[in-house]
Amino acid sequence: MPSPLGTHVTHILLAEFDIDRGSSLAHQYPEATGTDEGLLAELMLPDGAHLRTEDWTVFFLNQSIPDPDKISTAKSGFDDDYNNNTPLLYALNLVRTKHDKEARRGAIVKAMAICTRHQYLHIYKPILLLALDKYFQDPSVKCLASLYEAVNSMDVTYMPRFSAHEKAILRASENKDMFEEKFIAYENSKKQQDTATQSLKDDSSGKGLVINDGGDGGTDNSCEESNCKKASYTDLMPNLSKNKDRHFYETKVVYSGIKLPIRVPLTVNPEEVGDFSLIKLITTFSPSSPHPFNHAFHPHLDSSGNQTHPIILLLNALLTQKRIIFLGHGHPSGDVANYVLSACAMGSGSGGVLRGFTERAFPYTNLTNVEDLLKVPGFIAGVTNRIFEDHSSWWDVLCNIDTGKITVSKDIATPSYGTKPDERSEEGTRSPSASKTESWGREKWDTTDNEFMAEVMHAIQHHYGETSIRGKFQDYVQRFVRLTALYEIETFGSTKIGMMPEDTDHGNILGTGLAFQDENSKLREVAANVNRIEGWRQTISYKYYQLDFQYYLKSRSIKAIDVYHQVAKLKNLKNMPEEEVECLYKALVDNVVTDEQIIEFLSYLPQNQGGLFPIGLGLFYPLKTVRNYTIELFNRINNHTTGSKFIQSLNLFQKHAYERQLADQKEKEQKNKLAMQNHEQLQDENNSNNSSDNYNDDSNESDIGVAITTN
């Protein structure tokens, strides 16, 4: 009897369409999921499935309506056991239509779904294709049982588990051998074990016997030669895996005698599900010739007035927990599902900043689930039925995949605060915290968002990869969160989502949070974001982030400084006081010491954004102490397995400067050491001469004494 909940896959579902009964759930293996069977059947057999030969879709199970009042008692998202009582299950579903003249209406429609706790559910696509083919040939529960056994036998015993900082480093690196040391030990031991097993087989078959062709009756030489060859082969084993991409863990699934290679992605963030394309989402809803929105101004959505970029409007809707629908009439359900998954990733900062989006996501849904859908605050849903478009009271923002147009509902609720540019704020319509910052929210629109989207579109047009684009949105959302923390500090005097000076040892000198060129640029950026900041502060993801950040403060390795702030200053600020620069580099040298601290430090310096470049600027600083601190820090990083790859990827200018100054430093140390040795040798000689002179004086005195006594 198989385990009720497998290691990788918890349930296998099978649904089929019957002309008389409609969509029905035929099997649930090994036990029922606990979800309504009618709902499962509707999700597995989406609208229009019979019109296509094949369709993939995704849906989630064990979703519950988030209760904001109970979030404060929940565990942190950094905790692997979070919400472990009712884990969210991700279902990958394949529906197939086979035309058969003998069947009623000439076709047979069946769907099979795999339910898993893993977000990388797309790895199961090849085996699901084989399993559904097999079920068409032999429609029995044995097919589901064999599939369940096969996927749960996938061996991931030695798959590395990366920390959040290690994952950030790996995501931002194109280096295929990053963190290779985590793989090599296992791979070598496995190969040695396989070699030993093969040797035993050879010995038992007589192939391993050493036959001496002659000599003086000994086999020592031949054995030594054999051992030498084996040792050389073993030493070369690490080179056999040099071409492997360490962004993935390679394993296999054996199903019906077929070995299917599986590559498990190791850089998936918490809110990233499946193999969606964020680039596709951006290009679909980015018009070639932008035109102003014509809906009524909404303070949460229109951060740049009627010139707000559609993608920024969508991102604002995600951050402020609006009800969002992706409509794709006539499209496969898999298409709308991928847009929903992309939106969840975008709103969460590529899954690396915020959370609470996937638990409110419905990658595909239909009219039978409308009542349950409307109970979920800020849902993100994918549909294919046009009826949703006509009911504007069901949604706040509708994204039409066919037209690439984003529509704001005329029935959307508008908060009692928020102002257009150049409007005077009336009492009762201001932001709850506007009393201290009279001008916030009433200045002319800032163009930062449009500049950001221009940068993103430029990157897409120049064929930057998916990882790079996700990284840009992660940085954008991270900056927005830190801007919110700054707003709270300026307005309320404290924050639970950002560094306070008391959270570090050098807060008053080196600072915390974001880094701005001047006070005006700080106020201008906060003013441009104040309305959506207030919108986000009322959401579930904001409450989750409060918990997550407090957990981070307790678990971080570098506690004395805000690394993000120091890196931002080196990147963006000019004319920093010499005392501050010297204090900054000394703080880095003093606090980036252990392996954990080096990894955390490097995670703030992604390789696809220049890596150690901002730190390397210290190599050219006028103060010699700063240059020495930089060399000392680089030496420490270079001696670290992962850090050495960052040193190797320095640009040539900085790399040559580092090597030259290091060589000069070593040469100077060698000269000082030699001078010290010469000095000690000279001192020893002087001491020896002095002792010899003293001995001669003593001898003379004794001779005189003897002479006097004799006389």
Residue 690's pLDDT is 66
Query: Given pLDDT bands bounded at 50, 70 and 90, which one contains residue 508?
Result: confident
Q: How far apart are CA 497 and CA 548, in angstroms?
A: 8
- Residue 55's CB: how many other CB atoms inside 10 A? 24
Average pLDDT, the chain: 83
Structure confidence at residue 691 (pLDDT): 63
> Where are the alpha helices (H) located in 639-651, listed in sequence order?
641-648
CATH number of the structural domain 1-78+86-155: 3.30.450
What's the pLDDT at 444? 53
Of residues 454, 339, 321, the one with CA closest to residue 399? 339
For residue 97, pLDDT over 80 is answered with yes
Average pLDDT over residues 105-134: 91
d(CA 548, CA 554): 10
pLDDT of residue 694: 56
Q: Is the pLDDT of residue 228 over 50?
A: no
Calpha distance 273→124 (Å, rounded)? 13
What the block records as the tokens of 571 is: 């990147």
150-164, 209-223, 342-356, range with greatest mean pLDDT: 342-356
Say if residue 710's pLDDT is above 50: no
Rounded distance between C-alpha atoms, residue 256 and residue 627, angstroms: 63
Rounded CA-CA distance 89/61 in Å is 5
Q: Please give the residue that has the higher pLDDT: either 642 or 671.
A: 642
pLDDT, tens digit (0-9, with 9 covering 90-100), for 551-583: 999 999 999 999 999 999 999 998 899 999 999
Q: What DSSP line would sit under 608-629, residue for residue?
A: GGTTTHHHHGGGG-SSHHHHHH
| 5, pLDDT greater than 90 | no
Backbone angles phi, psi at 62, to 5 degrees: 65, 30
- Please list the alpha-helical segments (H only) found in 348-465: 370-374, 387-390, 448-461
Tens digits of per-residue pLDDT, 244-253? 888 999 999 9
Reply yes or no on whether the pLDDT at 414 is more than 70: yes
Which range among 214-218, 273-277, 328-332 shows the weakest confidence by mean pLDDT? 214-218
Residue 358's contacts (CB-CB under 8 Å, 6 or more residues apart) are: 60, 88, 271, 273, 344
The pLDDT value recorded for residue 325 is 97
| Per-domain residue ranges of the chain | 1-78+86-155, 276-413+445-555, 568-686
Q: Cα–Cα distance between 699 and 701 in angstroms, integer?
A: 5
Q: What is the pLDDT of residue 202?
A: 58
Q: What are phi and psi of 271, to 5 degrees?
A: -100, 15
Opening angle at CA 546, ends 543 and 547, nearest 5: 95
Residue located via tokens 């923390």: 485
pTM for the full model?
A: 0.84
- Cβ-in-10-Å burial (0-12, 13-18, 19+) of 623 comes to middle
Residue 112 has pLDDT above 80, yes or no: yes
Return the pLDDT at 101: 72
| Count of CB atoms situated within 10 Å of the CB of 375 | 9
Read off the pLDDT band of 27 (50, 70, 90): very high
pLDDT for 128 beyond 90: yes
pLDDT tens by residue, 284-335: 999 887 777 888 889 999 988 888 999 999 999 999 999 999 999 989 999 9
Per-residue pLDDT at 201 exceeds 70: no
Q: Residues 606-618: what's their mean pLDDT?
A: 94
In sequence order, what E strands does 235-362 have? 248-255, 258-265, 303-306, 324-327, 361-362
User: How many CB atoms sit inside 10 A of residue 76's CB?
Assistant: 17
Q: Which residues contact 46 (CB under 8 A, 6 or more apart)?
A: 55, 57, 95, 333, 364, 366, 384
